Amino acid sequence: MCITKKISIIVPIYNEAGNILNLYSRLEGVLTTMPQFKWEYIFINDGSIDSSFEVLKTLADCDEKVKALDFSRNFGKEIALTAGAHEALNSDAVICIDGDLQHPPELIPILVNRWEEGAEIVVTIRTEIEKQPFFRRFGSYVYYWLMRKISGINLKAKTTDFRLYDKKVIQVFAKTTERERMFRGIMDWMGFRRSYVNFKAEARVNGQPAYSYGKLWRLAVNSLTSFSLWPLRLAGYLGVSISLISGILFLWMLANYVVMKVWIYTPLAMVVVVNTFLIGVVLMALGLVALYVGVIHTEVINRPLYIFRDRINC
């Protein structure tokens, strides 16, 4: 059989020692049914503090399709995916999949099929998530709503990082230089022909979701503007609370007037409240400026995006 096309499977790994072998055997089960492609695994160990890299090393020793890259510290999933994509520049397609088995490898034949039909990005959409707390679902809903309103990008809700990208997309992606990045945000910005596949997400098999609310929040804010000057940002948050409190106070004063029909507050009190509100607005504007200054700040430093400690089979 003539093997023509090469597909790389990129897996970011952060404390997934208990999941790697399981994921690998499920992937192997699927990939052996598609021998017409040349397969390659790129595992990026994103500074795990468990034995993930040892497991990856053993795997790489047994199977030369497995490339294992070891970050010198935790750089975050977005950067791990980016490093994987940079590593796969000579592949015809790339499939990104989480290491915690929440993305069913059994979907891969469908993704590849869509790709062969002409899609350049095949996006999976989770239709249902088991055991996801309400707050997380609510946060995700608000985030996508905000993204659609604020940025020009049409982010489709509930899409995941489990995606297939054509070589063309990966080549263009390699030219993007921002450091505070959201992998799929950049991909969505790029355009290209897309196809969508629905799937039901499974609950995490082993370990804890590494994306705490804090990390998710950061990711959300990063993808809206990207910044790093938190003191200025703090001014913005302060502005929001000042405006909110004085705004409520002002409404309360008005409501009092409407209900009692007598003006019980001195004009000075009124001026003070309105003035405080405006101070809040100014602080908010400062916070907004900080968002943009932050972007410039991180771009100007121009540090390497990631640092490898070790590379196996590559």
Q: Could you say whether residue 139 binds ligand UDP (CB under 6 A)?
A: no
CB of 47 or CB of 287, closer to ligand UDP: 47
Q: Could you say whether residue 211 binds ligand UDP (CB under 6 A)?
A: yes
- Pick the piece of the chain touching Mg ion (CB under 5 A) from 92-100, 175-183, 227-235, 294-302: 92-100
Contact 23, 101 (CB under 8 A): yes
- Pick the piece of the chain touching ligand UDP (CB under 6 A) from 8-16, 115-123, 219-227, 303-311: 8-16
Q: Which of 74, 113, 225, 256 binds ligand UDP (CB under 6 A)?
A: 74
Sequence-distant (6+) residues with CB within 8 A of 126 are 158, 160, 198, 199, 200, 201
Alpha helices for 175-229 (secondary structure H): 183-190, 213-224
Query: Residue 210: which of Mg ion, ligand UDP, none does it interact with, CB under 5 to 8 A by kind?
Result: ligand UDP
CA distance 48 to 46: 6
The 152-191 site mask, x for binding Mg ion (CB under 5 A), equals ----------------------------------------
CB of 111 or CB of 232, closer to ligand UDP: 111
CB of 99 or CB of 185, closer to ligand UDP: 99
CA distance 216 to 106: 27
User: Cβ 184 to Mg ion, closest distance in Å?
Assistant: 14
Q: Which of 45, 52, 102, 246 binds Mg ion (CB under 5 A)?
A: 102
Cα–Cα distance list, 309 to 47, 68, 174, 295, 312 (Å): 10, 11, 21, 28, 10
User: Cβ 45 to ligand UDP, closest distance in Å?
Assistant: 8
- Pick the piece of the chain touching ligand UDP (CB under 6 A) from 116-124, 206-214, 246-254, 282-290: 206-214
Place of tokens 């089979």: 313
Which residue from 111, 93, 24 is spatially nearest to 59, judged by alpha carbons? 24
Binding to ligand UDP, residues 80-109 (CB under 6 A): 80, 98-100, 102
Contact 224, 152 (CB under 8 A): no
Q: Which of 57, 77, 184, 233 binds ligand UDP (CB under 6 A)?
A: 77
CA distance 228 to 222: 9
> Positive or negative, the Cα torsion across 290, 293, 299, 304?
negative
Whole-angstrom Cα Rg for the chain: 24
CA distance 64 to 252: 70
Q: Which of 9, 10, 16, 239 binds ligand UDP (CB under 6 A)?
A: 16
Binding to ligand UDP, residues 32-51 (CB under 6 A): 46
Which two tokens mark 64? 């030369």
User: Cβ 114 to ligand UDP, closest distance in Å?
Assistant: 23
Q: Could you say whether residue 100 binds Mg ion (CB under 5 A)?
A: yes
CB of 199 or CB of 277, closer to ligand UDP: 199
Please name every residue paired with 163 in a beta bridge, in sequence order, or none if there are none.
96, 123
Binding positions for ligand UDP, rule: CB under 6 A: 12-14, 16, 46, 74, 76-77, 80, 98-100, 102, 209-211
